[in-house]
Amino acid sequence: MSKKFPDSPAKPELICWGCDKYCPADNLACGNGSDRTQHPIEIFGSDWMKWGLGSGDNVPDAAPGKPGPG
């Protein structure tokens, strides 16, 4: 079972977010590359949860005559 992904961690720069191990940034155990994976809050800012396809609002409509996604 995977761990719950934190929406707004206190110090995201101290952890690698690349897998469910959440290793300290200076002790990567999974071998998932040589650098740590950043938390989305570090990349997109504190409103990162509002981005994306959460409600489907950003999904473009299918062109006329073509089937839509799914």
Neighbours of 18 (CB within 10 A): 17
- Examine the pLDDT at 57 and tell me if it is beyond 60: no
The residue that leads in pLDDT, 66 or 42, is 42
End-to-end CA distance of the chain: 27
Quick: pLDDT tens for 11-56. 999 999 888 888 898 888 877 667 889 999 999 888 888 876 555 5
pTM: 0.61
Q: Give pLDDT, residue 48.
A: 86
